[in-house]
Structure 1
Amino acid sequence: MEAEVSKMELMFQKADSDLDYIRYRLEYEIKTNHLDSADLGLSPWTKEEKTAAEQLKSHV
Structure 2
Amino acid sequence: MEAEVDKLELMFQKADSDLDYIQYRLEYEIKTNHPVTAGKLSPLSKEEQTAAEQLKSFMSDL
Q: TM-score of the superposition, structure 1-length normalised?
A: 0.63
User: RMSD of the alignment, in Å?
Assistant: 1.5
Kindly indicate whether structure 1 or structure 2 has the higher relative contact order, using CA contacts under 8 Å at least 6 residues apart.
2
Q: Which runs of 5+ in 1 are unaligned?
A: 43-60
TM-score, normalised by the number of residues in structure 2 = 0.61
The gaps in structure 2 that reach 5 residues or longer are 44-62
Could you list the runs of 4 or more consecutive aligned residues of structure 1 that deviate by over 6 angstroms after TM superposition?
Answer: none
Q: How many residues align?
A: 42
Structure of larger gyration radius: 2
